[in-house]
Structure 1
């Protein structure tokens, strides 16, 4: 299933997958654009793109941590989008646009040089 999702998103450019929290993150241009959890694809959303996903009846990615339930900024795609890269492309472009609007995460400054 993971390879199929990578193929569907590939018109955006090279897609890489990294294991995370029992699922996978899918990346394009170094930015996470999707997650795969329990075999289901969720694309990144933001305030500008979420209404399109909601209007299409897409479901949000919901997680439970420490007894609390929360929605992440990812949604499923319409079933027909899973049929081909051409049908997925408009949804994938929304996800990439949302990812590009988010500032890159900064890594904490580490020590430079060798320990003494």
Structure 2
């Protein structure tokens, strides 16, 4: 994983500052206000989703984060980030807020 990619995400998520990072799960978790709203695995960014937001990710063609456990594929409630967030600060802010809102709801349940 390149630290340049992780560092660039602070700019991408500038509207959600402060964003902190922590190595975990073989990747890096991105946190805001103590909640993980995104994870980077193999230089791919995945954003937190839930029942209220997952259809928006699917509509954009985003893929769920999956991993293999005991020979079975397991999907987490994280989806690949749409490419537009790297080019458009307004899109980045919207998707960051969706991910953080999902993290807030999951904390409450």
Report if TM-score (shorter chain) is over 0.5.
yes
Structure 1 stretches of 4+ with a deviation exceeding 6 A read: none
Q: Closer, same or farther in 2 for the Cα pair 1:5/1:38, shift >3 Å?
A: same
Structure 2-normalised TM-score?
0.89
Structure with higher helix content: 2
- Whether 2:19 is the aligned partner of 1:15: answer yes
Residue segments in structure 2 that go unaligned for 5+ positions in a row: none
Q: What is the CA RMSD across the aligned residues, in angstroms?
A: 1.5
SS at match of 2:67: strand
Written as runs of structure 1 = structure 2, the 5 A alignment for 1:37-116 is 37-103=41-107
Structure 1-normalised TM-score?
0.84
For residue 28 of structure 1, what is the aligned residue in structure 2?
Answer: 32
Residue segments in structure 1 that go unaligned for 5+ positions in a row: 106-116
Partner Cα separation in structure 1 for residue 108 and residue 39 of structure 2: 17
Tell me the matched-pair count.
105
Q: Which structure is larger by alpha-carbon Rg, 1 or 2?
A: 1
